[in-house]
């Protein structure tokens, strides 16, 4: 199933590349082993915005696919600054988004100047205007970002309260609504396992939905995931997450009528005329988190905020940034450092005590 998803993502990327100049495809192929297809798709989307802007501003009279290298080499600083202003003021992109799109362009132009070679070993372009363009200065400090995040994540006893809400309380408050209640009864073990796994590991959404049954190591409490850059890594998760996952797996085949060849860990209810059970999509997970978060009284809570909740708790209890960086799969330790700025004085249990005392009853 994972291979099928990768193939579908690759097809979408190829379809977008067919609209872009030949040198963009060459650059993407150069990056294909290093970055995920999702990241490269975003790059191509950014390039499409840039090239469409060039045509709209009459900087090129012709189709996007035919924009030559010579035109890129002749780009002026004023033209690029005009494009960045267009992103900021007309498309209403925030400074971070403008920086991301500028970074994509810088990477492409750097490839054309310093890596790609003509048959006679000359660079594709000699002049790189993007090297002269500086990123927007982001004035927001880590403390400010942390303070904004703090009100949107689970802190203290909210962590376990939210898990229990998904596992039990949501059904109790919706008993009178038969349609909602029956749908909840069908999916409660699966949904609890999803929430518990994110809260007990900090997995990304893409990593979670990409899991197969064979990726779970039940003896070591870890999961094999493919992280950004197509890197394989084993990520540990809590005993509570394991217990909730086993509860879900005990009903997965019966409740979802799963074919033995379907190795997807999280699946949706049978759909369509043939009653096909499919891998749960990222959007479906987002929607179920939104549903429970709104009912819980924290509508700002999202899948990514659950990941932040795990990271905050981990840091407060373990206080080991390098280990947290590895657990979250961050490429830069600076990204992980934000969790050192979130204040949460009422946390008292260590990460391996976050679990309910399930062993004590045995």
For this structure, is 304 an active site residue? yes
Active-site hit among 106, 152, 228, 323 = 228
CB 229 within 8 Å of CB 36:
yes
Q: Rounded CA gap, 296 and 157, in Å?
A: 13
Which residues contact residue 30 at a Cβ distance below 8 angstroms, ignoring those fewer than 6 apart? Answer: 111, 115, 116
CA dist., res. 84 & res. 147, Å (int) = 29
Is 227 assigned a catalytic role?
no
Of 163, 204, 279, 313, which residue is the catalytic one? 204
Instruction: Name the strand (E) or helix (H) holding 227.
Output: strand 222-227
H or E element at residue 232: strand 231-236
326 is catalytic: no
Strand 216-217 and strand 231-236: the pairing is unpaired
Q: Is 307 a catalytic residue?
A: yes
Which one of 304, 323, 326, 341 is the catalytic residue? 304
Show the tokens assigned to 50: 């840039």
Calpha distance 72→118 (Å, rounded): 16
Among this protein's residues, is 126 annotated catalytic?
no
* SS3 (DSSP) at 211: coil
Tokens of 46: 């950014």
CB 44 within 8 A of CB 97: no
The catalytic position among 307, 308, 313, 315 is 307
Q: Assess whether 315 carries a catalytic annotation.
A: no
Catalytic entry in 263, 323, 330, 341: 330
Active site residues: 204, 228, 304, 307, 330, 339
């Amino acid at each position: 199933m994972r291979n099928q998803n990768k193939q579908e993502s690759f097809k979408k990327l190829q379809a977008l590349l067919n609209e872009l100049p030949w040198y963009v495809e060459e650059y993407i192929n150069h990056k294909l082993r290093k970055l995920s297809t999702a990241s490269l798709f975003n790059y191509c989307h950014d390039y499409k915005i840039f090239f469409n802007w060039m045509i709209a501003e009459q900087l090129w009279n012709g189709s996007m696919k035919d924009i030559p290298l010579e035109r890129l080499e002749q780009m002026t600083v004023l033209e690029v600054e005009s494009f960045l202003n267009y992103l900021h003021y007309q498309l209403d992109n925030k400074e971070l988004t403008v920086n991301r799109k500028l970074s994509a362009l810088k990477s492409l132009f750097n490839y054309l100047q310093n890596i790609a070679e003509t048959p006679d070993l000359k660079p594709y372009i000699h002049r790189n205007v993007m090297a002269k363009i500086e990123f927007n200065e982001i004035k927001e400090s880590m403390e400010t970002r942390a303070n904004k995040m703090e009100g949107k994540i689970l802190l203290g006893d909210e962590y376990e309260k939210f898990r229990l809400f998904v596992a039990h309380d949501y059904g109790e408050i919706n008993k009178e609504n038969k349609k909602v209640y029956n749908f909840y009864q069908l999916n409660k073990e699966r949904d609890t396992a999803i929430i518990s796994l994110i809260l007990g590991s900090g997995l990304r959404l893409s990593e979670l939905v990409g899991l197969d049954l064979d990726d779970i190591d039940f003896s070591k409490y870890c999961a094999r995931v493919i992280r950004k850059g197509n890197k394989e890594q084993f990520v540990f998760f809590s005993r509570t997450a394991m217990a909730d996952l086993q509860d879900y797996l005990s009903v997965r085949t019966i409740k979802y009528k799963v074919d033995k060849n379907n190795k997807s860990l999280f699946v949706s209810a049978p759909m369509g005329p043939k009653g096909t059970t499919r891998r749960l999509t990222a959007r479906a997970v987002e929607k179920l988190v939104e549903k429970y978060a709104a009912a819980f009284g924290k509508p700002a809570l999202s899948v990514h905020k659950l990941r932040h909740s795990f990271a905050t708790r981990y840091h407060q209890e373990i206080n080991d940034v390098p280990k947290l960086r590895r657990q979250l799969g961050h490429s830069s330790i600076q990204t992980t450092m934000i969790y050192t700025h979130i204040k949460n004085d009422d946390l008292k249990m260590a990460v391996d005590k976050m679990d309910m005392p399930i062993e004590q009853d045995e």
